[in-house]
Amino acid sequence: MRVRRFGAVIGAATALAMALTACGSDTESTQATTVVQKAKDSKKLVVGIKYDQPALGLKKPDGTFEGFDVDVAKYIAKELGVPESGITFKETVSANRESFLGGGQVDLVVATYSITDARKKQVTFAGPYYVAAQDTMVLADNDDIKTAQDLKGKRLCKAAGSNSFRRVTEGPPDGKLAISGVKLVDASSYSECVAKLKAGALDAVSTDDLILAGFANTQKGQFKVINNPISEEKYGVGIKKGDTETCEAVNKALTKMYQDGTAKTLLEKHFAGTGLQLKTTVPQFEGCA
């Protein structure tokens, strides 16, 4: 009798284990393998943005977010089937964008993320959604730096994770001007660069004109952009390496964003009055391969 009861218990336990295993297999087999699939299934996305860049990605005191990158992210999400309420914004600084995508902390990165050959080895890029130009910002009363070549011997900010300083101090392929004698001053972000510039701890900040215009516009009279472009900076949407399905879907959304006039509206909303000549036609995409 005991043997029969013991056998029945073992049989029930085995059946339960098999059922749990089967459920686990079903879950794994239906788990989204691309961001497009996740968006379709869950109606949710985690998007990496900057929190400290005025007019691009800025976290406001009330906990909401504003800026061109934020609005672009919302448009892309909508086209992927995710409502604004389904977006979670996560702070993603220059130094951690690759690791956040690779580790799954974010689904997309829309954070003034310049497309470079080195980054393409780690990340799949959609876009660019905008082509900025690298320029230089100094204090408003600085008459010593009128061109990028005047940065020789000057203190230039080096923001962690950004390649912008290389355009000044190094030659091709990642650099541009190869100006010698530039003194690099470390900073954790471009907001810290601007704070150090204001405090007199450095002489110049050189990075994308949209970033500089955003900072200059919030502190009118403090800074000026010298209007001496160094190179093009192609802002891409960062996606986990190999997710070409999502890349193609995002490119489709970006094309629509320009064709329906939304891009022009957003650019004028955030940068009108800054003196920048805004580009309102669809950028040439890099391709998702």
Residue 275 has pLDDT above 80, yes or no: no
Strand bridging mode 87-91 / 45-49: parallel
What number of other Cβ atoms are within 10 A of residue 127's Cβ? 25
Residue 241 has pLDDT above 80, yes or no: yes
166: Cα separation from own chain's centroid: 19
Residue 250 has pLDDT above 50, yes or no: yes
Cβ pair 149, 118 in contact under 8 A:
no
User: What integer pLDDT is reported at residue 53 of this predicted model?
Assistant: 92
User: What integer pLDDT is reported at residue 217 of this predicted model?
Assistant: 86
| pLDDT tens-digit series, residues 144-168 | 999 999 999 999 999 998 889 999 9
Backbone φ/ψ region at 277: left (φ over 0), alpha (ψ -120 to 50), beta? beta
| pLDDT tens-digit series, residues 172-185 | 877 899 999 999 99
**Domain definitions of the chain by residue range:** 35-131+234-271, 133-232
In this chain, the answer to whether the domains covering 35-131+234-271 and 133-232 adopt an identical fold is yes
| 206, amino acid identity | S
Confidence of residue 38 (pLDDT cuts 50, 70, 90): very high
- Cα separation, 213 vs 269, in Å, equals 13
The structure's pTM equals 0.78
Residue linked to tokens 């955003």: 214
- Compute the half-sphere exposure of residue 32: CA atoms within 13 Å on the CB side of its CA: 17
At the topology level, CATH places domain 35-131+234-271 in D-Maltodextrin-Binding Protein; domain 2 (3.40.190)
Residue 86 has pLDDT above 50, yes or no: yes
User: What integer pLDDT is reported at residue 23 of this predicted model?
Assistant: 43
At the topology level, CATH places domain 133-232 in D-Maltodextrin-Binding Protein; domain 2 (3.40.190)
Quote the mean pLDDT of the chain. Answer: 89
Average pLDDT on 40-64 reads 96
Integer-rounded Cα radius of gyration of the chain: 24
User: What integer pLDDT is reported at residue 31 of this predicted model?
Assistant: 58
